[in-house]
Structure 1
Amino acid sequence: MNENIQVLMSTYNGEKYLRNQIDSILSQENVNVSILVRDDGSEDGTLKILEDYESKGQIKLIKGQNCGFIRSFLELIDSSDKSDFYAYADQDDVWMPDKLISGIERLKKEDTSKPLLYCTSLQRVNEDLKPLSVQSYPKLKLSIYSQLVRERLAGCTFVLNKNLRDMLYGSSKLDLEYSHDSWTVLTCWATGGKVVFDNSPHILFRRYGTNTSVDGGGLKKRIKHELRYFGKCRNQRFKAVKKLLDFRADKIEGDNKVILKSIRDYKTSTRATFRLAFNTKLDCGIKMSNFITRIVILFRCF
């Protein structure tokens, strides 16, 4: 029997590529797929396209006011229907036919009583779907410590089980500044779950000038991206950790609670700040990111 999976998609002025994406989701193999779309106040022809699919019974549509993609996805989680599995979708990619079943089959090999998250590498393509390169995350480490240093995994590749969805339910009330995909990964690790990674891409990840996600670039761009924690992302992880500790206090135990509490309390004394900054477990596998993270902590911008 095919597993049930609900795909959560947020749209905003995405008329150009939207039909390609929805059709690729509807064409997924060996799954019973439903699609829940929240439109984030589009001003182009996006709503008309969505209403066409809705009239055919192919999607369920929520017409929302503009609140940004983070809040939009969190509201989708809180509006999601009962299902065995869930997935996030951007509005402009194209999914390979086996994308969802690949994630489901991998997660079914794990302890399904725990929160579980599946993610993959990305086949980067241009606007016309011409292959560019595979984004495969070299030196990737999978742990709560790595996630706290650098958010690397792409939400558009995620498949999550019901237990993880239940851990996330209610997140839209938290007024988060942390991205929905990073929040998903952090919540999974913190509540005793597991993240599994597939090196094979199952998505055509369209890259062009107006994408909202950060991707690619040389050393200069990477350093600029990392230094965002001194500016617009100042205290972002600190705030997210505090909210998570309050939100799921009864589900966070052991070493996960220790590291999260050390972040929550790292500004209380110089000793606490230095202890966190030089915690050797805070390692994402990339020396530059590790170094910048320690500087960010020492300046109490984490």
Structure 2
Amino acid sequence: MPPLHVLLATYNGARYLPEQLDSLVSQREAAWSLLWRDDGSTDGTPALLEAFARRTGRAAEAVTLPGRAGAMGSFMRLLAAAPEGGHYAFCDQDDVWLPGKLARAQAALAEMPEARPALYCSRQQLVDAALRPTGLSPLPRRPLGFRNALVQNVVTGCTLVLNDAARRLVLAAPPPPPGTMHDWWCYLLVSGAGGAMRFDPEPGLLYRQHGANAVGTQPSLLRRGLAAFTRGPERFLAVFSGHLERLRPAAPLLTAEARETLALVAPLLTLPRRERLRRLRRAGLYRQGAAEDAVLRVWLLMPPGMAAPASLPGISPPGGAGSR
């Protein structure tokens, strides 16, 4: 097996971090090293990590890149700093990994050609702050692929493991836009490049929902659709536009089919509704659940003035200042 590198991003995680670190030690049939980056914690998180490295004797190394980077920035810096030629497992500070998580991920990636970008992810056992079970994350009802990745992320970052070819692909592409997350960007690039993807229906971890998660989840596709409707279109449309903007210069890394899909949807929000409907049908974009799909169609077919998203930092609305 290629060496396995666990990439842990932390920020003021001292409350839950010890349980996560203990769950790493409990991994069966998987040899791993730990690479972590702390984003300026003030609660003793770095001391916990240093004590863990001394106590366990594990290969553990801090990535001491200056400045605040947020969760996405920390994970991308960790991926760039990790040694070449391995497997790369992203790790949140507040979950608990089940003992077979890493072994299952490595076994799945070992079945895929090493030269082809490959991505593994899994279902999660949802728990509350005290680790009491609250349900399971929903299973995808439709295949993972680029036409799904353009409008929905079904790859939960704390379950995500990449092979070396996928790592090289992600690092060769432009950085992800503000407002998105590293897992969605990896899903877009690996699926768009024709990579192999494995969604494991067996939960690999206890995914703690405690009210302060950077990203949370819902236990059903219907509730996801209702939550999306309640949030409104602005944030989704801004992230959608940011992805399209960053994917354009990454086009040489994508398959011909993905480039054709990208060309169809890149100007989507600036077009008349009839042309948008025509392009949507040709592009075949889809979300996993019927409720989510219905919300998506409403948002993408809104009148042109309403469909232009409010800007997130670093993202310009289509047709606005700074757009290309």
Q: Please report the TM-score for the alignment, with normalisation by the length of structure 1.
A: 0.89
Q: Which residue of structure 2 aligns with residue 136 of structure 1?
A: 138
- The aligned amino acid for 1:298 is L
Offset from partner CA, 1:39-72 (integer Å, 9 cap, x none): 1111211122122234555321124432221222
Q: 152-161 or 211-220: which moved more?
A: 211-220
Structure 1 counterpart SS, 2:22 = helix
| Corresponding residue of 2:34 | 35
Structure 2 CA distance for aligned equivalents of residues 276 and 42 of structure 1: 47
1:282 aligned onto 2:282 = no
Range 80-89 or range 7-16, more displaced: 80-89
1:64-86 CA distance string (max 9 Å, x none): 43222122211211222224211
Aligned match for 1:126, one of 128, 145, 167: 128
Supply the distance in 1 between the matched residues of 2:223 and 2:290 (Cα, whole angstroms): 15
Cα distance 1:12–1:52, how it changes in 2: closer, same or farther (>3 A)? same
Moved more, 87-96 or 208-217: 208-217
| Contact persistence 1:278–1:294 (CA under 8 A) | no
CA deviation vs aligned residue, 1:189-242 (integer Å, no higher than 9, x gap):
111102111111121111212222121278677434346462234321222122
Greater share of strand: 1
Report the residue type matching 1:26 in the other structure.
V
Matching of residues 185-204 of structure 1 within 5 Å: 185-204=187-206
Structure 1 CA distance for aligned equivalents of residues 165 and 150 of structure 2: 22
Letter paired with 1:32: A
Q: Which runs of 5+ in 2 are unaligned?
A: 310-324
Identical columns (%): 28
Q: Give, in whole Å, the separation in 2 of the partners of 1:263 and 1:208.
A: 36
Q: Secondary structure at the match of 2:63?
A: strand
Q: What's the counterpart of residue 239 of structure 2?
A: 236
**Hey, what's the Cα distance between the residues in 1 that align with 2:177 and 2:138?**
32
Match of residue 24 from structure 1: 23
Question: Which amino acid is the alignment partner of residue 6 of structure 2?
Answer: V
SS at match of 2:235: coil
Q: Aligned partners of 2:276, 2:48: CA distance in 1, in Å?
A: 51
Residues 8 and 77 in structure 1, CA contact (< 8 A), matched pair in contact too: yes
Amino acid at match of 1:251: L
Q: Quick one: distance in 1 between partners of 2:190 and 2:9?
A: 21
Does the Cα contact within 8 Å between 1:177 and 1:240 map onto a contact in 2? no
Contact 2:121 2:160 in 1 (8 A): yes
Q: Look up the equivalent residue of 1:133 and give its one-letter code.
A: G
Deviates more, 1:131-140 or 1:254-263: 131-140
Amino acid at match of 1:290: D
State whether residues 178 and 237 of structure 1, in contact with CA within 8 Å, keep that contact through their aligned partners in structure 2.
Answer: no
CA shift, 1:157, in A, is 0.7
Q: Secondary structure at the match of 1:232?
A: helix
Q: Partners of 1:269 and 1:236 in 2: how far apart? A: 18
Choose 176-185 or 136-145, whichever is displaced more. 136-145
Instruction: Give distance in 2, aligned partners of 1:165 and 1:54.
Output: 25
Give yes or no for contact 2:6–2:89 (8 Å, CA) kept in 1: yes
2:269–2:308 Cα contact (<8 Å) kept: no
Unaligned runs of 5+ in 1: none
CA distance in 1, matches of 2:29, 2:43: 34
Distance in 2 between the 1:226 and 1:80 partners?
A: 39
- Name 1:62's counterpart in structure 2: 63
Structure 1 residues 191, 197: CA separation in 2 closer, same or farther (over 3 Å shift)?
Answer: same
Q: Is the 8 A contact 1:74 1:172 kept in 2?
A: no
Whether the aligned pair in 2 keeps the contact of 1:15 and 1:49 (CA below 8 Å) is yes
Establish whether residue 45 from structure 1 lines up as the match of residue 44 from structure 2. Answer: yes
**Separation (CA, whole Å) in 2 of partners of 1:229 and 1:163:** 36
Q: 1:120–1:199: 8 Å Cα contact kept in structure 2?
A: yes
Q: What does 1:67-216 align with in structure 2 at a 5 Å threshold?
A: 67-137=69-139, 139-169=141-171, 173=175, 175-216=177-218
Q: In the alignment, is the contact (CA less than 8 A) between 2:174 and 2:246 conserved in 1?
A: no
- Give aligned pairs, total: 300
Shift of the 98–224 alpha-carbon distance from structure 1 to 2, 3 Å rule, reads closer
CA distance in 2, matches of 1:136, 1:233: 20
Question: In 1, distance between residues paired with 2:176 and 2:218?
Answer: 30
Q: What is the alpha-carbon distance in structure 2 between the residues aligned to residue 138 and residue 174 of structure 1?
A: 24
Q: Residue type of the partner of 1:60?
A: E
The aligned residue for residue 296 of structure 2 is 293
Under a length normalisation based on structure 2, what TM-score does the superposition of the two structures give?
0.83
Instruction: Name the CA distance, whole Å, in 1 between partners of 2:292 and 2:201.
Output: 22
